Amino acid sequence: MEANAMHPECRCVNCQLKELFFAHLSADEMMEICSIRKDRAYAPGEHIVMQETKVDNFFYLKEGLVKLHFIKSGREDQIITIAKPFDFISILSIFSSDTYKYTITALLPSVVCRINMDIVKGFALKNAAFGFDLMNRLSKSTDIILKETMDLKRLNLKGKLAFILLKFSQHIFKNLLFELPVTRKEIAEYAGVSTENIIRALSEFRKDRLIRISGKEIEITNLERLEQISRFG
């Protein structure tokens, strides 16, 4: 595409962010964004954003997998959601607060695209169509998270586990066979139940031949049944 040729720094395929910017900004403005934005790679376990720190950048996940979570001293983490490539990961509060409200941590080797927040705000304030599009995308992201949280909330333990396994299989890896990118403890923190019970439920799913497990590798062998459990369990 000629557009990409014009912006050698913004050549990532599938970049929603680029779409967002391209659709509304001039060639010069694009040049500005593309020269300012920075990529950075993170190893699993590395914090991308730490809660309570000053909001300085807008983050976008290009590669890998991350968790959005609350860290509470003396208490288990709470995982808000798990975000995949092309998701906006700095969502809540970045416009309405001056500190990040939650922590973002890499689960897999990840590459994050970072744009100075003042620049993004500047564009939003002088380009209404851009701001409007940005608002739509941010609100869509938040909506999905809240919906997911409410869905998880109403399910029993096995339902929560099935829901999470299906999220990995259907939405993240798009494959019945996948490598779990989280520990059992993290699944528990996501579901809001105890680690032991997640392990137990995994074993029962295995015994009932809904899944096969070898270490971190999971294969869903009875998709239909697992979907039932995630809806009604």
Partner DNA sequence: TTATACTTATGACAGATATCATAAACTGAT
Partner DNA sequence: ATCAGTTTATGATATCTGTCATAAGTATAA
Binding region for DNA (CB under 7 A): 156-158, 180, 183-185, 192-197, 199-200, 202-203, 213, 215-216
Site for a second copy in 30-69 (CB under 8 A): none
Please say which residue, 94 or 187, places its beta carbon nearer to a second copy.
94
Q: Which does 55 bind (CB under 5 to 8 A by kind): a second copy, DNA, none?
A: none
Kindly tell me the burial class for residue 72, based on how many C-beta atoms sit within 10 Å of its own C-beta (0-12, 13-18, 19 or more): exposed
Q: Which does 35 bind (CB under 5 to 8 A by kind): a second copy, DNA, none?
A: none
Please say which residue, 134 or 191, places its beta carbon nearer to DNA.
191
Q: Does 78 bind a second copy (CB under 8 A)?
A: yes
Please say which residue, 36 or 146, places its beta carbon nearer to a second copy.
146
The span from the first CA to the last CA of the chain, in angstroms, equals: 48
Interface positions with a second copy (CB under 8 A): 70, 75, 78, 80, 91-97, 101, 121, 124-129, 131-132, 134-140, 142-143, 145-147, 149-150, 153-154, 192
